[in-house]
Homo-oligomer: A and B are copies of this chain.
Amino acid sequence: MVTTAPTGAVTPAFTSVAEANAESFARLDDADPWVVDVQPAREVLPGYRDNLVLTSGAPMSWHDYTGGQREALIGGALFEGLADNREEAIARFATGEIEVGACHDYSAVGSLAGIYTASMPVFVVENRTHGNRGFCNFYEGKEPRRLNYGCYDEGVRDRLLHVNRVLAPVVGEAIRRRGGIALKPLIARALRMGDEVHSRNAAASILFNREILPAVLDMVDERVDGVRETMLHLAENDYFFLRLSMAAAKASADAMVVPGSTLVSAMAFSCRGFAIKLAGTGDTWFEGPPPIHEGKLFAGHTENEITWMGGESPITETIGLGGFAQACALSLQEYQGGSPEVMIERNREMYAITYGESTTYRIPLFGFRGTPTAIDARKVLETGVLPVMDVGLAGRDGGQIGAGVIRAPRECFLDALAEHARIFGRR
């Protein structure tokens, strides 16, 4: 159990768990995330410092980070110029000269290792119903070697710089010219087009491109630099939208905070283990062992290469997308394994542990039934059904080696409800 600084959410008074959950669910279901800007992390993440490197999972001290996640932190420090070499970076992390932070504490979410540094551009997503903001940085591209998969070399650096210098400024300008883009209807549409916006974002990515098209055409006309390059890059990167769905999910989930609620408002993991937050117990993380996995590896990789180096994309499952909408995205069977029948059954199973059904995100295969939304920690313990998540799998030596489904460990929910009972009593 780890408690960190509050993220500034509204906190009505507690009456009963039932009322708290109803309110918490309604706040999630009403959320209206819009991407409104792209800016460097240092400019927009609340409380950001130049010597800060963020990473995925419940907060830990530098010494607790191991393997690929530690490598990714070092890579982040080098990328940002916070150290000249690996040894210097390690020494500075150890003294606290370079600080490590948890993405969630800065209203951000990280993909895999989830590294943020001061200069990295982030999508600024505004929840127009509740006024809070969520952030996510950019997809690095299709190359399996990525900073977020624990790799840092010349190629990784070049691709990150390309994001900073070319892609992000163009995409940001296009978003601003469009006056922001509503993400909720776009995601709802993508669910009808074979995406679950976690491990599959092919439709959402092109729908997003279509949304910025009018601005892009103007920008080409005005000879704005890098527009052509950016649009061709976007056109080739089916995973581009994931960072937008993550930021949308964060901005939506952060609005769920209602004291006493037993609904899950965040799920994330680090190299040490999986952790959840409840909407009703403040900023405390409830930790367990690493997730339980069931994956499909890319050719040439073996099971014992799989390593956990963090991941906060399960924020999408937290709001009823990803694994909770996998019946929308059956073509994932090829990428992450599992038959259509298994995927459909897994998706159905989630109705047993969720508070309600989304009134916006719907599953065509289930007759447009809303996706199972807002995991109730009590139902997880009652039914023994563990939340499923669609994720990419990282290899011990860095890089993506596969994809699959993971499940959150039961321990987190036990721990969370024990704390809930301690604060609110057994009602």
Contacts and interface: CB of A to CB of B under 8 A. Distances in A.
A231 interface: yes
Given A206-B207, A220-B221, A364-B333, A214 B194 contact: no
A162 to B, nearest CB: 18
A236 to B, nearest CB: 9
* Interface SS of A by simple majority: helix
A213 interface: yes
A263 interface: no
Contacts of A364: 194, 330-331, 333, 340
A193 B364 CA distance: 12
A324 to B, nearest CB: 18
Contacts of A192: 194, 202, 331
Nearest 4 interchain pairs by C-beta: A330-B364, A192-B331, A331-B364, A193-B194
A340 to B, nearest CB: 5
Interface string A219-244: 01101000110011001000000000
B206 A232 contact: no
A209 interface: yes
A10 interface: no
Interface string A364-386: 11111000000000000000000
Number of copies: 2
Given A217-B220, A217-B227, A340-B365, 8 more contacts: A193-B203, A213-B231, A213-B235, A217-B228, A220-B220, A330-B364, A334-B368, A340-B367
A49 interface: no
A252 B73 CA distance: 54
A339 interface: yes
A234 B340 CA distance: 33
Interface in A149-207: 192-194, 202-203, 206-207
A86 interface: no
A333 B364 CA distance: 8
26 contacts: A192-B331, A193-B194, A203-B203, A206-B206, A206-B207, A206-B210, A209-B210, A213-B232, A213-B235, A214-B232, A217-B228, A217-B231, A217-B232, A220-B220, A220-B221, A221-B221, A330-B364, A330-B365, A333-B364, A333-B368, A334-B368, A339-B367, A340-B365, A340-B366, A340-B367, A365-B365
A426 to B, nearest CB: 42
A411 to B, nearest CB: 35
Contacts of A331: 192, 364, 368
A34 to B, nearest CB: 19
Contact of A202 (B193, B213, B214, B368): B193
Contacts of A193: 193-194, 202-203
A140 to B, nearest CB: 21
Nearest to A344: B365
A235 B211 CA distance: 9
Contacts of A367: 333, 339-340
Interface string A332-345: 01100001100000
A213 B209 CA distance: 11
Nearest to A366: B340
Name which of A227, A331, A333 has the most chain B CB atoms within 10 A of its CB.
Answer: A331
Nearest to A341: B367
Contacts of A235: 210, 213
Contact of A194 (B203, B206, B209, B368): B203
A135 B264 CA distance: 55
A331 B203 CA distance: 14
A130 to B, nearest CB: 29
A217 to B, nearest CB: 5
Contacts of A366: 340
A174 to B, nearest CB: 13
Contacts of A228: 214, 217, 221
Contacts of A220: 217, 220-221
